[in-house]
Structure 1
Amino acid sequence: MEKSNPNKIAINFSIQGTTAIAASQSSLLSPAPTFARHLHASGGSKKIVGVFYKANEYASSNPNFVGCVEGALGIREWLESQGHQYIVTDDKEGPDSELDKHIPDLHVLITTPFHPAYVTAERIKKAKNLQLLLTAGIGSDHVDLNAAAAAGLTVAEVTGSNVVSVAEDELMRILVLVRNFVPGYHQAINGEWNVAGIAHRAYDLEGKTVGTVGAGRIGRLLLQRLKPFNCNLLYHDRLKMSPELERQTGAKFEEDLDAMLPKCDIIVINMPLTDKTRGFFDKDRIAKCKKGVLIVNNARAAIMDTQAVADACSSGHIAGYSGDVWHPQPAPKDHPWRYMPNHAMTPHISGTTIDAQLRYAAGTKDMLERYFKGEEFPAQNYIVREGKLASQYQ
């Protein structure tokens, strides 16, 4: 990562889709597309493909469970009534996948961060009719954004749709780690009773120093929710909050990330995955954290060096690690994070609560309606527009 000053780190990030994209697109610096695929160039029937996780026996458990293959975002009847073709699948990996069968002639691809269809440069090259890539949720790093920009594609997501869901989940994970909850749960289901085996690593959250690396929408919501716990709150971001918001959250700005890390008992990762942040928390940066630090990461797993995290958990330098993001997703059965000590990992669930699903399904439908009518999307929803990347991905 390039640094103008080795003692200070300026990262161009907010959180995964959390800082609104600048209204003025002229300031975005990505190269112009090599050719243009006009978003609203033609009418008629469109082929739309959605890639979601399969619900199987849980599909009928809740009428609002729309974020799965079976629920199909609740837009199948609407799309087909207008003469569009709507294909939904969870099969996304490899050249023989259901997704790849439709790549050559689809117009719109809808994906989610929870069961991501990795839209590579190779897939983009094969998708001759593709105009629009929609993320039902927040975080479009499963798309090769530079290739999408070069191809003149539009990439958009439902900004803000699950920020509350993720912030609440982060708070839960902080408490799970601080109170050493997971070993206690395991004792309960295994018929054991050993209070000392839990208590020797259990603490109060009050009085602890919590630092968020990224203070966009999710980071700010987390800070607001942490304030009643009487923590010492720190944040690092490329942009300083307004004095009023700092007063409301009680958080202190830390310009130098490397100076903030050793101060923190708990670190929460709230930056997006970009070329600059990939592997950002490597062995050397983790070593700058306080011994016994707790880390929560619901942002993107590739921000962390996978083996460095596993090694630091094994050595005790990281006393606890929790998150719901893995690389790749779904995580293979032999992923080292499944077996490292003192973790509280889950599949990618934080942003796909039923409430969040209803919000990102409604946002996806709104953008499709605008697409069919030739109307612009809300400015903050654009990730790639007219060959230019949104600021948080530059």
Structure 2
Amino acid sequence: MGDQDRPGVLVSGFEGPSGICKDHVGELQKHFHLITMQELLENKTQLGPKIQAVYIWDRKPAITLELLQSLPALKIVASPGSGLDHLDLKLIASFGVKVANTPQAVSSPTADMGMALLLAAARRVVEGHQMAVSPDTEQFSRNWLGQEVTGSTLGIVGMGSIGYKVAQRARAFEMRILYHNRKRRESEEEEAVGATYCERLEDLLQQSDFVMLALSLTSQTQGLIGRKELRLMKPTAILVNIGRGLLVDQDALVEALQTGVIRAAALDVSHPEPLPRDHPLLKLENVTLTPHVGSATYRARQQMMENLIDSILACLSGLHIPNEVPFK
């Protein structure tokens, strides 16, 4: 099958931080004729009607009204990961276009990252590393202490596939697990990880030594953790966020960390990303930051790509679409 005979798929490009993964290009080209945004912009009349799918990588290309209007043959938007806050699902559905994502591909590595951040913040790994390598260090203090993880209480906010995998890992650390979720899990699932449901978020915040955010960003969850919620937490508590930056009121978080309302925070996400280089969160010793790498493993990215290919091919063949996102 020649390149032009394969279904046209729009991609952001092949270069730069938002370009599709170089290791994936060959596999994608076996199935699709890849058309970049630059190529489309230069020749909308000829290329627009050939594009049947959009393959999103690093939230690009952005799905706008103008783009949808220029792609009359578009059938599916395929987006990696589980978060959908970068997509206007109502707008896309109004064009009769399907959406698919890859939640299974990201759940295990993101849960691993959540535990890595929890452990790093509790045991002050980044501070300890800086002390160990500093040219000014002459001796190690025996009174430089971290926080115990084993036997402590973890509150998980958002018990979807990622949150549940966090609970499975936390159980191995003999943690007491509380969770708050829009919908309560089955009792068998709770018992399997030893998790207790908190109908009220306030109850979870007051009891937890660690609070981990593992939920999606929606209009209901934006700003979920603000001044009031931070003040409900223990002064010894650590906040871990592996969801989205906008789940937390960042100004309130900075204030809470500066004034001892909570002990520390470990964040894989922020708003914006990256933060401005003069942002106060970058200057606090009791903050551990990573650059939104929850699902950034070779294996997970490979699985994402394979899942997206499967969803596009199924859609174009009129078959059941794996991981189709239902429009409510």
Q: Does 1:119 align with 2:62?
A: yes
1:50 aligned onto 2:11: yes
Summarize deviations over 1:122-153 as a string: whole Å, max 9, x none. 45555443432111222121112232233332
Return the alpha-carbon distance in structure 2 between the equivalents of residues 259 and 73 of structure 1. Answer: 48
Deviations 1:262-295 (A, max 9, x none): 1111000011111111122122222222223201
Alpha-carbon distance change, 99 to 344 in structure 1, aligned in 2, over 3 angstroms? farther
Change (3 A) 1:264 1:87: same
Q: CA deviation at 1:54?
A: 5.5
Amino acid at match of 2:33: Q
1:175: how far off? 0.6
1:312 corresponding residue in structure 2: 256
Q: Which one-letter code corresponds to 1:281 in the other structure?
A: I
Structure 2's unaligned 5+ residue stretches are: none
**One-letter code of the match for 2:34?**
Y
Does structure 1 residue 195 correspond to structure 2 residue 143?
Answer: no
Cα deviation for residue 324 of structure 1 reads 1.6
SS in 2 for 1:222: helix
Distance 1:198 1:135 in 2: 48
Report the AA paired with residue 119 of structure 1: A
Indicate if the aligned counterparts of 2:235 and 2:260 stay in contact, CA closer than 8 A: yes
Q: Corresponding residue for 2:105?
A: 161
Aligned residue identity for 2:21: V
> Is the CA contact 2:156–2:179 (under 8 Å) kept in the aligned structure 1?
yes
Is 1:277 the counterpart of 2:225? The answer is no
Are the equivalent residues in 1 in contact too, given 2:226–2:248 (CA < 8 A)? yes
Structure 1 range deviating more: 316-325 or 326-335 = 326-335
Structure 2 CA distance, aligned partners of 1:121 and 1:336? 33
**Residue of structure 2 in register with 1:75 after alignment:** 27
Report the alpha carbon displacement of residue 74 of structure 1 after superposing the two structures with TM: 4.5
- Equivalent residues of 2:76, 2:312 under 8 A apart: no
Q: Distance in 1 between matches of 2:127 and 2:14?
A: 29
Whether the 8 Å CA contact 1:52–1:69 is kept in 2: the answer is no
Residue 52 of structure 2: which of 93, 107, 117 is its match? Answer: 107
Superposition pairs for residues 113-192 of structure 1, below 5 Å? 115-117=58-60, 119=62, 121-124=64-67, 126-129=69-72, 130-192=74-136
Q: Which amino acid aligns with 2:237?
A: V
Higher helix share: 2
CA deviation profile, 1:25-64 (whole Å, cap 9, x unmatched): xxxxxxxxxxxxxxxxxxx6543123489589xxxxxxxx
2:267 aligns with 323
**Kept after mapping to 2: 8 A contact 1:49/1:87:** yes
1:174-323 mapped onto 2 (5 Å cutoff): 174-193=118-137, 195-196=140-141, 199-200=144-145, 202-323=146-267
Q: Is the 8 A contact 1:209 1:232 kept in 2?
A: yes
Q: How well do the aligned residues superpose, as a CA RMSD in angstroms? A: 2.8
- Displacement after TM superposition at 1:215 (Å): 1.0
> Which deviations, in whole Å up to 9, do the C-alpha atoms of 1:308-336 show, x marking residues without a partner?
22222222223221122222334443444
Contact conserved, 1:183 with 1:198, CA < 8 A, in 2? no
CA gap 1:334/1:149 in 2 versus in 1, 3 angstroms: farther
Among 12, 24, 34, the alignment partner of 1:86 is: 34
Q: Which amino acid aligns with 1:77?
A: Q
Shift in CA distance, 336/49, structure 1 to aligned 2, threshold 3 Å: farther
Percent of aligned pairs with the same residue?
24
- Taking the aligned partners of 1:76 and 1:296, their CA distance within structure 2 comes to 35
Structure 2: which amino acid aligns with 1:75?
E
Which secondary structure does the structure 1 equivalent of 2:263 belong to?
Answer: strand
* Secondary structure of residue in 2 paired with 1:71: helix
Higher relative CO (Cα under 8 Å, sequence separation at least 6) belongs to 1
